[in-house]
Chains A and B, each alone.
Chain A
Amino acid sequence: MGMAAADDQFHVLAVDDSLIDRKLIERLLKTSSFQVTTVDSGGKALEFLGWHGSERNMFNETSISPKNHQEVEVNLVITDYCMPGMTGYDLLKKIKESAFLRDIPVVIMSSENVPSRITRCLEEGAEEFFLKPMKLSDVNKLRPHMMRTKFKNEIEKPEKEEKEEIEEIITIGEADSDMEQLQTAQSLQQKNIDNDINNKRKSMDEVLSPDRTRPRYSDLTVMSN
């Protein structure tokens, strides 16, 4: 199948204007078996993501599969908040406003613990907010976000492709019918979401009061046929 070579390896795009921090995050991510690309600005990040504004239509027409928006698939963007020119927040906004980039999970890092900043980012659609310097334990929290999005993309595909895709992903049980497979995928996704909420609560507790919740999961309901 011509799908992206790195099905088992997630690809992270790391954005930071500090050379030292780029080196650090790259090592952290590679240690966790992620593929990494680092760039030093939001502008370069958008370029890498294939965000060309009007040229985007050109990509669409020539692509073979609906998922193949980018030359290189990016499963998560991790960005510093404070950067000259385009801040991490600006980058987050651009990604979430773009029809074909908005599904990519975005995570923000900052050296400063500013609750209003954190809230703003989460409300704009950031999955998580980490305080720098990042640790290995922080990087371990990234995988659920990437998995959740990957499953979501797989499940929302047009039906004719669905069967092949699901067979590749679902290794749980011996579901024969499409419906059973779809339901298995649903429950797996729900488990991921539940885990994710718990993970996020844990990390958020570190920086925020416990009452903050993000009503973000309503738009992740799976379409049933």
Chain B
Amino acid sequence: MQRQLANMKQTLFDQGYLDEQFIQLEELQDDANPNFVEEVVTLYYRDSARLIQNIEQALEKSPLDFSKLECLMHQFKGSSSSIGAKRVKSECTQFKEHCRVGNADGCKRTFQQLKKEYATLKKKVEVYFQFARQIGPVEKACRSK
């Protein structure tokens, strides 16, 4: 079961959803802080939901306020980077570049892509955590034998 979990994680890495920063987070988790990674990821979801909403609203304005968009995306990029959300982060970088050159269509297109990547990541990570939670207590029971 542990092997399955490890494989799951490896796939997430191989497919580029997560990067090394996620491992850094796991290394900060210990007996005293057993839910650290999940806590951080939960914060990330909350933060991202807020940012996505704000960006969506900003994208409906005409003309676009590129500097505001860039600022919002800078925050999104930062938090994505902090948890190791590699693909999402790269969409953020692209979006910022479109802002920089004032490409409104580029921004809108990239944002759709970003939302997709974010949704996929969220789903996959949820599955990963669910599985980890399930095998967690089983693992302990085995160890105590």
> How far does the Cβ of A108 sit from chain B's closest Cβ, in whole Å?
15
- What is the number of contacts between chain A and chain B, taking CB atoms within 8 Å? 45
User: When the two chains form their complex, are residues B28 and A21 in contact, meaning their CB atoms are under 8 A apart?
Assistant: no
Judged by a CB distance under 8 angstroms, whether B14 is at the interface is no
> How far does the Cβ of B24 sit from chain A's closest Cβ, in whole Å?
6
Q: Which residues of B contact A24 (CB under 8 A)?
A: 25, 28, 40, 82
User: When the two chains form their complex, are residues A133 and B81 in contact, meaning their CB atoms are under 8 A apart?
Assistant: yes
User: When the two chains form their complex, are residues B75 and A18 in contact, meaning their CB atoms are under 8 A apart?
Assistant: yes
Q: Which residues of A contact B28 (CB under 8 A)?
A: 24, 27-28, 31, 136
Judged by a CB distance under 8 angstroms, whether A19 is at the interface is yes
User: When the two chains form their complex, are residues B24 and A133 in contact, meaning their CB atoms are under 8 A apart?
Assistant: yes
Judged by a CB distance under 8 angstroms, whether B131 is at the interface is no
1/0 per residue A64-103: CB within 8 Å of B? 0000000000000000001000000000000000000000
Judged by a CB distance under 8 angstroms, whether B77 is at the interface is yes
Q: How far is the CA of A136 from the CA of B21 in the complex (A)?
A: 11
Q: Which residue of A lies closest to B43 (CB)?
A: A20
Q: Which residues of B contact A28 (CB under 8 A)?
A: 28
User: When the two chains form their complex, are residues B39 and A23 in contact, meaning their CB atoms are under 8 A apart?
Assistant: yes
Number of interface residues of A (CB under 8 A): 15
Q: Which residues of A contact B21 (CB under 8 A)?
A: 133
Choose among A18, A20, A31 the residue with the greatest number of B CB atoms under 10 Å from its CB.
A20
> How far does the Cβ of B121 sit from chain A's closest Cβ, in whole Å?
15
Chain B interface residues toward A at CB < 8 A: 21, 24-25, 27-28, 33, 36, 39-40, 43-44, 47, 74-75, 77-79, 81-83
12 new A-B contacts, CB < 8 A, other than A31-B28, A111-B81, are A18-B47, A18-B78, A18-B79, A18-B82, A19-B43, A20-B40, A23-B43, A27-B28, A111-B78, A132-B82, A133-B24, A133-B81
Chain A interface residues toward B at CB < 8 A: 18-21, 23-24, 27-28, 31, 82, 111, 132-133, 135-136
